[in-house]
Each structure stands twice: as C-alpha cells, then as structure tokens.
Amino acid sequence: MSTVPPSLDIHYFSVMEMQLTWGRCQAFFIGLGTRLKCNIFSYDYSGYGVSEGHPTERHLYKDVDAAFHTLLTKYGLSADRIVLYGQSIGTVPTIDLAARHKVAGVVLHSPLMSGMRVTCPNMKRTYCCDSFPSIDKVHKIESPVMVIHGTDDEVIDFQHGLEIYDKTPITVEPLWLEGAGHNDVELYGQYLDRLKKFIDVELPRCQREQEEQSDEQFLVPLS
C-alpha cells in the first residue's frame, strides 16, 4: 500500500491484470497514486506472482474478498472510501465484489462479459459451463461505475465494454479510447484526466446526491 497522503479520503483498490514486471508495476502504481492523490492497494491472485495456491475462478473471488477484508480490518477503512479498479480479467473479481458490497466507486478497464463470450462473440446468453459471468452480475452494483475500453482491443472486443456499460445501473460517462488496444490504454493522455475527474468531481457529486436522496426519504410533509 502506497504512502501518498490523499487529498481526499479515497483509497484506490487495484485488482489489475497488467502485463508488467513487478518493478514496472510498482513504478506505475506509485506514479498513478501520486497523480490521483490516492493510496493504492494491489495484490496477486492465487498462483500468480509470489502468491501460493492455484489460479481458479473460485480463488479469484476468495482472493478479492480477502484483500477487501484486509482494507476494512487491518487498515481500518470504510467501504464508502474505497474505489475498486479492475482491468481485463481483473474486472471479474471486481464486479463480483462490487455486486455484493457498496463502495465509493468502481472502474472497469477493458471488462469482459464472460469467458465464452470472448471466444464466441455472437453468444447471447450465459450457459452453465461459462466462466466469469460478469454480465449477469453488473445489474447488482449499487456504486457509481466508470467503464474504460479501447475501440481496437484485440483481446476483449470493444463490444464487451459497451454491453457492460449498458447493463450497469449507475454509470458516469465512459472512456472510449479511439484506436487503443488491450495493453496500451494507460498511454493515452485522456486516461489519467478521466480518472482524476471521476475521483475528484464525479464521486463526490454522486455521494452528495445519494445523501440528499437519503435525507428526502426521511422528510415528513407538514399537515
């Protein structure tokens, strides 16, 4: 976890699948946290990096639960001060967690609808043998969501981002990066600018609106 003092009490919870060595990944997170004025918490999946165990779908969900629990208990954070960030297959545990826990916000970077839909793009429903069925979970997310996707993504087709965005109930303006592929989104200048706007402007506004709506529910009209 980085030690950058956040200007806002927001902590970026990274569940990213990045094609980077640990050294480059660490440098990226430090730079990102500094620019966004956020602390960043990241972890390896079971069977990846220095983590023990085996990489399975079930372990993905257990891993994200363990990481989230660590932020709540060891670091004493509240869920409404945490932004979840998932990239590529990292969006799978991110969506699963966000569908069960309300947080400050969620960033879905190059999300996939499901495993089979990646290889069979014309599939219109989820079968019992399908893995990573994120498209069937996003409707349960009660937090503001920003979707990022490159229009020329050669791994997870751009259509996945469009469908995820369409099925998610609370969204802000997405970031569709014209010409971006699967592994170069971070190189576009709009990427950082859009994240800063999401954290500095849109999330505080969403929280204020939710608080106002909550207050209105308790207003009793005078007779």
pLDDT tens for 143-198 read 999 999 999 999 999 999 999 999 999 999 999 999 999 999 999 999 999 999 99
Can you tell me the mean pLDDT for 80-84? 93
pLDDT of residue 14: 66
Residue 3: the pLDDT is 45
* Confidence band, pLDDT 50/70/90 cuts, at residue 23: low
pLDDT exceeds 90 at position 10:
no
Pair 2, 40: CB distance under 8 Å: yes
Question: For the residues 2-13, what does the mean pLDDT come to?
Answer: 51
- pLDDT band of residue 223 (cuts 50, 70, 90) is low
CA dihedral 120, 122, 123, 125 (to 10 degrees): 150
Task: Grade residue 67 by pLDDT with cuts at 50, 70 and 90.
Answer: very high
Query: Hey, which residues are catalytic here?
Result: 88, 153, 182
Residue 8 has pLDDT above 90, yes or no: no
Model pLDDT, residue 29: 86
Distance of CA 149 to the CA centre of its chain: 12
Is the pTM of the predicted complex or chain greater than 0.95?
no
> Residue 222 above 80 pLDDT?
no
Query: Is residue 15 scored above 80 in pLDDT?
Result: no
DSSP codes joined into one string, 112-145: -S-HHHHH-TT--S--TT-S--GGGTGGG--S-E
| pLDDT the model gives residue 28 | 85
Q: Is 197 exposed, middle or buried (0-12, 13-18, 19+ CB in 10 A)?
A: middle
Report residue 48's pLDDT band, with 50, 70 and 90 as the boundaries. confident
Which pLDDT score is estimated for 19?
45
pLDDT value for 44: 81
